[in-house]
Chains A and B, each alone.
Chain A
């Protein structure tokens, strides 16, 4: 697989990866929580807003076609991401980043749920975009 279009689809044991962003937020109907997908793309939008911040990146799908991917932090709100070090300025438009999470189930839309908010996107040089840690 072409490393410049780094798209890795990995099926893993459900028990190892199934997680919930919050104990009572139901995302299992929306995302394949037994699958993990890693994407490298460029930031199109970084919306640091309540109730749920979101990130859009442009990255290739499984066939190599460029898509806009909606990257979700699940049930997390601004205050929770702030505790991990996020701000409105954390991600710049056009910046290259790599994200990892569970792909959306619905066909025709492209989305990724970052597992429990614990997956921190990384910049081109491999450093995480924030320090991370507990959201609480």
Chain B
């Protein structure tokens, strides 16, 4: 029995030393690199507490390419997927005023958004998660993450083409070239999120913003999008295209 205890305690010491020395497994971070992001967070706000101003990609934003402007001119409001309850894309989702939840697991991080019933999975590197195939694309992309210097760094790509992919209010699309880099860290007890988005077809330069969230006690209530609520404002739109369906749209 004494021998077993000695072996066990030695193993514990070796393991502890490995952690202290930062000798975690391949692709895995030392514990000091891992911020405690787990919990419920308030709607993201800009530095100083203002809502939205620092985050918005404007309709006539100088960073938009000519191709983006051409799409804006062609894809009118009537054809936007949001009227069919399609969720806000990322990073637009971060610019909307809803709380969210982060759950840190050993091999992945889950983000539950208070809007659109969206759950994103961040696949942590070093756990054998397969990469998507070359021909696989996803509405919210494929997100790989790792911890470094006290932050969770997430790179998301493999997005489907999305007519509202960069901004759902101003008809700014995103292409399969869209790539997001998000850096989550803790700053004075608040969650700091730095977002940089590139898209070779629709952005001349990276679209970057930083937002902050504070801890909250509860998540916003369940979302549940209803088509009547999503499509209501369509009756006040005027279509550019005379062969469009009725604003009440198609009965599925």
Contact = CB atoms under 8 A, between A and B. Distances in A.
A70 B234 CA distance: 11
Interface string B223-240: 111101110110111100
Contact of A49 (B167, B226, B233, B237): B226
Nearest to B45: A136
B contact patch SS: loop
Contacts, number: 79
B89 interface: no
A54 B232 contact: yes
Interface stretch (A7-15, A24-32, A123-131): A24-32
Given A30-B233, A79-B220, A104-B236, A23 B226 contact: no
A136 B43 contact: yes
Interface residues of A, number: 29
Contacts of B169: 24-26
Q: Which of the four size classes fits the interface of chain B?
A: 35 or more
Contacts of B53: 23
B39 interface: no
A51 B85 contact: yes
A77 B97 CA distance: 10
Contacts of B224: 49-50
Contacts of A31: 236
B197 interface: no
Contacts of B97: 22, 80, 135-136
A17 interface: no
Contacts of A72: 232-233
Interface stretch (A36-44, A57-65, A92-100, A105-113): A105-113
B236 A30 contact: yes
A78 interface: yes
A79 B233 contact: no
B229 A54 contact: yes
A118 to B, nearest CB: 14
A49 B52 contact: no
A108 to B, nearest CB: 10
A135 B230 CA distance: 19
A122 interface: no
Nearest to B237: A30
B170 A52 contact: no
B98 interface: yes
A79 B53 CA distance: 21
A106 B51 contact: no
Contacts of A50: 223-226, 229
Interface in B106-127: 114-116
A51 B97 CA distance: 12
A73 B52 CA distance: 18
B236 A78 contact: no
Nearest to B54: A23
Given A25-B169, A136-B43, A106 B237 contact: yes
A47 B236 contact: no
Contacts of A136: 43, 51, 97
Interface of A: 22-26, 29-31, 47, 49-54, 70, 72, 77-80, 82, 104-106, 109, 111, 135-136
21 contacts: A22-B52, A22-B96, A22-B97, A23-B51, A23-B52, A23-B56, A24-B95, A24-B169, A25-B169, A26-B59, A47-B232, A50-B224, A51-B225, A51-B229, A52-B230, A53-B229, A72-B233, A79-B220, A106-B235, A109-B235, A135-B97
